[in-house]
Structure 1
Amino acid sequence: MAKSKLEIELLGLINEKSASEIEKVERYCSLVRISRNLDKSISKDGTMIKVVNGNQEFLKPNPAISEKVKINTALIKLDEFFEEKRAEKSKNNDFNEEDLYAD
C-alpha cells in the first residue's frame, strides 16, 4: 500500500531503525484513518440518531462523536512525541556561522 503524505512526513522525523518509533507512526496514521471514518459516519447519520426500542422512539447523541473525542485525545498525545521530534530536527538543522570556523 502506498504511503500517505502524512506517513512520509512522520517517518522523516523518526529513527526508522526504532521499532517503537515506527509503531507510533503506524498508530498515528491508523487513528487518523479511524477519525476520518468517524467523520463520514457523523456526516451521514448526523449528530443525533433515532433509537427505536419497542414502541418507544427517542433521539440520542451519535456514539461516533464520543469515539471521535477519544481518538482526538490519543492523536494529541501522540502528536506531543512528534512535536519533540520536530524540535530536535530543527535544533539539529540550526547552526551558527561561527560553527564553521570553530577551533
Structure 2
Amino acid sequence: MAVSISDLKAQLMRQIDVNDLVQAEKVERYVSLVESFRNADETIKREGESITTENGSQRFTKAHPLIGERNKINSSLIALGKDIDSYRVSDQPSRESNDYDDSDLV
C-alpha cells in the first residue's frame, strides 16, 4: 500500500525545523521526486518492462527507458532522505552545559 503524498510530506515537515528554508526546500524536492518515481513506475507497469522498436526491417526488444530514470530517481531519493535525516529535530530538549538536574548532584 502506497503512503499518501500529503502524509509523507507532513511527517517529513515534523522532523525538520520548518523555519529553515533550505530544509523545507529539501522536503519539497523529496516529495517531488517521490511523485516522479511513482509516475515512472506506473508507466512502466502499464507499458511493460520491455518495449519493441521497429526501424524499417529491423525489430528489436529492449528495456523500457524509464527503468534507468526510475533507478536514478531512487538514488536521488536515498541521498536526499539521508540529508533530511541529518536535520532531524531531536525529541528531547538539549541541555546546555550549565543546566543541571538534581541527579547531577553528588
Bin of the TM-score, shorter chain as denominator length: 0.7 to 0.9
**TM-score computed with the length of structure 2 as normaliser:** 0.78
Unaligned segments of structure 2, at least 5 residues: none
Aligned equivalents of 1:36, 1:10: Cα separation in 2: 18
The corresponding residue for 1:47 is 49
SS at match of 2:87: helix
The corresponding residue for 1:64 is 66
The corresponding residue for 2:76 is 74
State the identity %: 35
> How many aligned positions are there?
96
The corresponding residue for 1:14 is 16
CA distance change for structure 1 residues 54 and 46 in 2, over 3 Å: closer, same or farther?
same
SS at match of 1:85: coil
Aligned equivalents of 1:32, 1:41: Cα separation in 2: 14
Structure 1 or 2, whichever has the larger Rg, is 2
Deviation at 1:19, TM superposition (A): 1.4
**Quick one: higher RCO (CA 8 Å, sep 6+), 1 or 2?**
2
Q: Which AA in structure 2 matches 1:4? A: S
Aligned equivalents of 2:61, 2:18: Cα separation in 1: 48
RMSD between aligned residues: 2.2
Higher helix share: 1
Unaligned segments of structure 1, at least 5 residues: none
Q: Which AA in structure 1 matches 2:49? A: T
SS at match of 1:68: helix
**TM-score computed with the length of structure 1 as normaliser:** 0.80
Deviation at 1:22, TM superposition (A): 0.9
Moved over 3 A (4+): none
Deviations 1:20-49 (A, max 9, x none): 111100000000000000110110111111
